[in-house]
Structure 1
Amino acid sequence: MESKLLLHMNSGKGERSYANNSMLQRKLMIKGKHILEETITRFYSNYSPSCMKVADLGCSVGPNTLLVISNIIDIVDTTCTRLNQEPPTFQFYLNDLFGNDFNTTFKSLPDFYKRLDEDKGHKFGSCFINATPGSFHGRLFPNNSINLFHSANSLHWLSQDPLLEFTKEAESFNKGHCHIVSTSPPAVYQAYLKQFQQDFKFFLKSRSEELVPGGAMVLLFLGKNKTHRRTGWEIISLVLNDMLLEGLIEEEKLDSFNIPVYEPTVEEIRHVIQEEGSFFLQQLEILILPWDEGLNEGVDANIKAQFMAKVARAIMEPLLSAKFGREVIIEVFIRYEKKLAQLMEVEKLESTTFVISMTKNA
C-alpha cells in the first residue's frame, strides 16, 4: 500500500484523535491570521467576486477546519462592509487524502451553519462546503477556478518516501533511523531536500493553473531557521532506534521506513518560488512556538511531556501502525513521552512555522 494513503491524522473525536489534540496547530493559525486578513483584503478589494471560491488544502479533521472557514467569512464580511458591497456567495472545498476523516467534520456542519446564521443573519450570502479528496501534490481543480488557497500544517509532508529510490547500499547510510538525525550523512539530507523541491515546485505549478488571475495563497507549514531545533520526527527516530536495539521491532521494517516530512529553510522556500516563477511572494513571517503552547505556565514537566506525546501520537499513529503494527504503538509513545521529559531538562523544545502569502503572477 502506498504511504500517501496512510498519511492521515487519528480520526473521530476520542481521546487520541487529532480533533482533540491539535491545540498547537490552532494557536499557529490564530497567530498567522493577520496575514490571511491582509491577503484576502488585498484580493477582494481588487476583484470582489460574486462567488468566493476557497480551497483548504490538507484540512485534516476537527474544529481547526471550521475555524479556517469562519475566519475567512469574517474577513470578507468586514471587507464588504468597508467597501459598501454585498457579501458574496461562498464555496469552500475541503481537501485531504482519501483516508482523511471527512465524516467527523461534516457531522459538525449543521451546528456550524446554525451559528453562522445567528452571527451573520439572513442578509449574509450562502455558504456551501464540499469535500475534494486527493493529493495536493497534483491537480485538484479546473483551470482558473479558485480565488484563494489556504493550507495550514500540511506542506512539510512529502509526496513519498524521499529515500524510496535509494539502493540497498544507500539505505545503510541512515541505518537504524527513519528521519534526518545528527549522525545522518549529507546524502540523506540531500535526498529529503530534493524531494521537497520537486514536490513544492509541482504544488506551485498546480495551484497557479487552478487560481483565477490575481488569485492568492496563504500557507503555514513547518520549517527551520538558523538555530538548530530538535524535531519531533527526530525523537520518533531515536525511540524506534532504541526499540530496534532491544529487539522490539524488526530491523528490516525500520530500514525500509522513512518519515516523509521535510522542514525547509527560508532560503530553500524562496529558491523554489523564484525558480517555478508563477507567484509573487507578498509576505513571509516566522512563528516560533514551544511544543507545549496552550498549557498554563508552571505545569509539571511530566504533564507537558504527556501533552506533547498525545499531539505526536494523533499525527503519527496511523503511519507507524501500518509499518510496525498496532501492538508496538503504546510502547513507542510511552518512550517518546519519557524522552521528552528528559530533553526538556536540558533544552527548549520549539517549532518554527513559516506563514507565507503569495499572489499569482499576471
Structure 2
Amino acid sequence: MAVNGVLVNDVPMQGRGFYSSHSELQHAAMLETLPLLQTAASQITVDLKQRGRLTVAEYGSAHGNNSFEPFSTIVQALRIPEDAQITLVFSDRPENDFSILASNIATFEARQQQNKRLFTAMVPKSFYQQIAPSASVAIGFSLACLHHLEHVPPLAEGESPVDTSRISVLREQSRTDLSRFLEHRAAEIAPGGALVLSFVAQSSTGEENYAGLVDSCRRALIEMLQAGRIPMAAATSFEVPTYNRKLQDLDDLTKDGVPGKWAVRDISEKRVVHPAGAELRARHQKTDSDSDGGEKQKKRDRDSEWYAETVTDWLMAVVSGYFLKALRVGLGEAYTEQEGHTLLAEWTQRTKREFLAHHRDEDVNCWFIYLHLERL
C-alpha cells in the first residue's frame, strides 16, 4: 500500500499455518535467544510483588509457534509472588493471521491449566506503535523480525533493490525505525525492566545470508521473465523491504544506549543454520549404510529433493506475499488471485529446481544480532 508516495510494509508472513510449518530456521535462532532471555529476566528490578502482576510482551508474534518457549523461559527465571497474575501479550500487524495465532495460544493455554493466574492477549498493531499501556510491561522481546522496515519510498525509475543508493535509503530507514521502536518500548516497559532482541544481520565476516537460496530465487525469476510468464514491471517492483544491520550500524547504541531510557547490557552476532541441513546429512548417512548401487543414489536424490523443497518453502513463507504484491503492481487490472497463486507456485517450483541444479545440499545459514537492553 502506498501513502503519500511511501510504500507501507503491510505484507504478513504467509497465513493458513504455512509460516508456522516452515519457520525452522527462526526456531533455531529463537533457541539461541533463550539464555539471554533467562539472564535478562533474572536481572530485572521491577517490583513484581508491589505490582501484583507480571506482563511480558512479544513484538512480532506472527503465528506464535516460536513464542511459547521464550515466554516460559522468562516466567521460570523470575521469582513471581504466588498471588501475582501473569499476562502474556502477543502483538503483530493487523494483516497477520490472528486465527492461527489464537489457535496456537489456545493449545498453549490448555497445557497451562494448572496455572489459574495466566492470561493472554493479542494486539493487532505494528510494533512501530505503542502496543501496551505505559510502564505496564516488565520484560519484552522481539525475535527475527526487526529487520522488517515500517515503510520505504518507492524505487526510483531504473533503480534496483541492490543499488548502492537504495541500500543507503534502507539503512537510513532502519535507523529511524529502530529509534521509533525503542521509543515506544521505553514507554511500555517499566524502569528496571528489560528488552531482548534478535534480528537478521549482515555478518562482520562478510558471509552472505542464504546466498545459494537467494541465487536460486533470482535465477527462477529471470527464467519466468524471459519466458514471458511475468511482466518486467512486476520483476522490477519486487522488493522485500528489509535492512540487515551490521554491528557497526549499532555502534552508537552500544556505546551510549538511549540516554535516560536504555542501556545495552549484551550484544553479539551468531550464525544460525537451517536444521534441515543436519537432517539431510543424517538421511544421507543412513542411506549410505543401508543401501548400495543404483538404489543408494536414488535415495540420496530423493533426500536432496526433500531438502531443496524444505528450504525453498521456508523462504517462500516469508517472501511470497511480496511476490504477489509485485504481481498486482505489474499486472494491474489483469491480476487475479488465481493467476497470482499460479505464478507463485511456478516460481517456487523453478526455485527448487535451480537450487538442486546449482546449490544442491548447500547449508542455508543466516546471521543474527542479539541484544539485551535494560530499561533505565
Partner of 1:51: 53
User: Is the aligned partner of 1:70 residue 2:69?
Assistant: no
| Contact 1:153–1:221, Cα closer than 8 Å, also in 2 | yes
CA distance in 1, matches of 2:32, 2:277: 13
Partner of 1:311: 314
User: Is the aligned partner of 1:359 residue 2:337?
Assistant: no
Distance 1:308-1:316 versus aligned 2 partners, 3 A rule = same
- Cα deviation, residue 342, structure 1: 4.0
Query: TM-score normalized by structure 2?
Result: 0.80
Q: 1:60 aligns with which of 58, 62, 72?
A: 62
- Cα deviation, residue 221, structure 1: 1.1
Q: 2:359 aligns with which of 335, 344, 357?
A: 344
Q: How does 1:210-359 map to 2 (within 5 A)?
A: 210-226=188-204, 227-231=206-210, 236-272=217-253, 274=256, 276-277=258-259, 278-293=261-276, 295-296=278-279, 297-299=281-283, 300-324=303-327, 325-345=340-360, 348-359=363-374
Distance 1:237-1:96 versus aligned 2 partners, 3 A rule = farther
- Consecutive unaligned residues in structure 1, runs of 5 or more: none
Distance 1:53-1:45 versus aligned 2 partners, 3 A rule = closer
CA distance in 2, matches of 1:87, 1:125: 10
CA distance in 2, matches of 1:248, 1:303: 26
| Contact 2:24–2:274, Cα closer than 8 Å, also in 1 | no
Distance 1:191-1:245 versus aligned 2 partners, 3 A rule = farther
Percent of residue pairs bearing the same amino acid type: 19
Q: Secondary structure at the match of 2:142?
A: strand
CA distance in 2, matches of 1:88, 1:238: 56
CA distance in 2, matches of 1:308, 1:26: 14
Distance 1:258-1:41 versus aligned 2 partners, 3 A rule = same
CA distance in 1, matches of 2:375, 2:73: 22
Distance 1:44-1:233 versus aligned 2 partners, 3 A rule = farther
Q: Secondary structure at the match of 2:194?
A: strand
- Cα deviation, residue 276, structure 1: 4.6
CA distance in 1, matches of 2:179, 2:357: 39
Letter in 1 for 2:306: I
> Which structure's CA Rg is the greater one?
2
CA RMSD of aligned residues (A): 2.6
Q: Secondary structure at the match of 1:32?
A: helix
Q: Secondary structure at the match of 2:75?
A: helix
CA distance in 2, matches of 1:294, 1:140: 37
| Contact 1:62–1:105, Cα closer than 8 Å, also in 2 | yes
Bigger mean CA offset, 141-150 vs 216-225: 141-150
- Cα deviation, residue 136, structure 1: 0.9
Deviations 1:229-265 (A, max 9, x none): 1445565445323422332211122223321011111
- Cα deviation, residue 46, structure 1: 6.7
Partner of 1:37: 38
User: Is the aligned partner of 1:153 residue 2:144?
Assistant: yes
CA distance in 2, matches of 1:240, 1:271: 39
Query: TM-score normalized by structure 1?
Result: 0.83
Letter in 1 for 2:185: R
Partner of 2:299: none
CA distance in 1, matches of 2:220, 2:111: 44
CA distance in 2, matches of 1:295, 1:348: 9
Deviations 1:145-202 (A, max 9, x none): 22111111110111123x42x542xxx132xxxx43xxx3x21221121111111111
Q: Secondary structure at the match of 1:132?
A: strand
Q: How does 1:94-133 map to 2 (within 5 A)?
A: 94-117=90-113, 121=114, 124=115, 126-133=117-124
- Cα deviation, residue 330, structure 1: 0.9
| Contact 1:287–1:353, Cα closer than 8 Å, also in 2 | yes
| Contact 1:305–1:337, Cα closer than 8 Å, also in 2 | yes
CA distance in 2, matches of 1:28, 1:230: 13
CA distance in 2, matches of 1:62, 1:253: 32
- Cα deviation, residue 343, structure 1: 4.5
Bigger mean CA offset, 148-157 vs 251-260: 251-260
Q: How many residues are aligned here?
A: 334
- Cα deviation, residue 87, structure 1: 6.3
Q: Secondary structure at the match of 1:314?
A: helix
Distance 1:155-1:236 versus aligned 2 partners, 3 A rule = farther
- Cα deviation, residue 6, structure 1: 4.0
Partner of 2:14: 10
| Contact 2:93–2:126, Cα closer than 8 Å, also in 1 | yes
- Consecutive unaligned residues in structure 2, runs of 5 or more: 284-302, 328-339
| Contact 1:233–1:259, Cα closer than 8 Å, also in 2 | no
- Cα deviation, residue 110, structure 1: 4.0
